């Protein structure tokens, strides 16, 4: 049974990888990658990494691929030929990939790891479970865990800064941007510090009151 599942899942993984490279429309490439990730999750399950498989499906095939789909829909999947200029690299790339595969296989066979030809270590209950992963994250791998969370924060802030609109700086010029100096802080009458004031609602109301006091429109 495990052999059949492995065969189907590895076929799906390799087919998905080839589809990512070979399909012309980026949208179809993203869909091929989703299939590849789901097959890979099945392989993780065969390797008794249940938590990694679940995270793969939820985080990768779910969240990250949705991001990809949105960006592909935004940019517009341009149907371009795989390569038009320079036949040299088009021929060299498969050669490079083949040489890399041969080298990787040689490295693995030459590593002298005796357990490569075995099923792996005997299975213990709880191996790869969320409990074991969480315990490892909070004891032995606490520092990588915290660093990873900071990395995610930095990436989120960086993505917002990279992808925001910069219309104010590019089209209108810097001189139109109002500048606030220290002197303004002393000159302005002190406000009440509420959110209504920062949104300009308080000022609107003050102007309306003034208009009404002057006698309507």
Partner 1 sequence: MDIGWYLAVSALVFCTGAGGVLVRRNPLVILLCLELMLNAANLALVAFARMHGSGDGQIFALIVMVVAACEVTIGLGVIVAIHRRRLPVDVDELRELRG
Q: Footprint of partner 1 on residues 58-97 (CB under 8 A)?
A: 59-60, 63-64, 67-68, 71-72, 74-75, 78, 80, 82-83, 85, 89-90, 92-94, 96-97
* Shortest Cβ 179–partner 1 spacing (Å): 24
Q: What is the per-residue binding string for partner 1 in 96-115, x denoting contact by CB under 8 A?
A: xxx-xx--xx--x----x-x
- Does residue 146 interact with partner 1 by CB under 8 A? no
For partner 1, the closer CB: 2 or 174: 2
Q: Alpha-carbon distance 178 to 173, whole Å?
A: 11
DSSP state of 175: G
Contact 38, 61 (CB under 8 A): yes
Residues 167-206 contacting partner 1, CB under 8 A: none
Residue 10, exposed/middle/buried by CB under 10 A (0-12, 13-18, 19+)? middle
- Does residue 54 interact with partner 1 by CB under 8 A? no
- Does residue 130 interact with partner 1 by CB under 8 A? no
For partner 1, the closer CB: 155 or 201: 155
Please pick, from the candidates 73, 127, 146, 206, the single residue that binds partner 1 as defined by CB under 8 A: 127
Contact 152, 146 (CB under 8 A): no
Distance (Å) of CA 52 to CA 70, 90, 129, 133, 160:
25, 36, 9, 9, 28
- Does residue 31 interact with partner 1 by CB under 8 A? no
CA max distance for the chain: 95
Please pick, from the candidates 119, 179, 181, 195, the single residue that binds partner 1 as defined by CB under 8 A: 119
Structure tokens at 111: 């590593």
- Does residue 57 interact with partner 1 by CB under 8 A? no
* Shortest Cβ 168–partner 1 spacing (Å): 14
Residues present in the chain in total: 217
Q: Alpha-carbon distance 98 to 162, whole Å?
A: 37
């Amino acid at each position: 049974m495990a052999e059949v599942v492995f065969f189907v899942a590895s076929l799906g993984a390799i087919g998905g990888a080839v589809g990512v490279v070979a399909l012309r429309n980026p949208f179809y490439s993203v869909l091929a990658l989703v299939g590849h990730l789901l097959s890979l999750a099945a392989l993780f399950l065969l390797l008794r990494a249940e938590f990694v498989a679940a995270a793969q499906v939820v985080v990768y095939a779910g969240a990250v691929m949705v991001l990809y789909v949105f960006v592909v829909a935004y940019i517009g999947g341009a149907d371009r030929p795989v390569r038009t200029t320079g036949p040299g690299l088009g021929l060299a790339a498969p050669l490079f990939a083949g040489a890399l595969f041969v080298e990787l296989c040689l490295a693995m066979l030459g590593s002298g790891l005796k357990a490569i030809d075995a099923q792996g270590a005997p299975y213990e209950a709880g191996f790869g479970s969320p409990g074991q992963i969480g315990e490892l994250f909070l004891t032995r791998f606490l520092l990588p865990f915290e660093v990873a969370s900071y990395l995610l924060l930095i990436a989120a802030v960086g993505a917002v800064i990279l992808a925001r609109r910069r219309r104010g700086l590019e089209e209108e010029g810097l001189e139109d941007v109002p500048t606030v100096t220290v002197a303004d802080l002393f000159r302005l009458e002190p406000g009440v510090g509420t959110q209504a004031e920062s949104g300009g609602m308080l000022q609107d109301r003050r102007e309306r009151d003034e208009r009404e006091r002057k006698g309507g429109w």
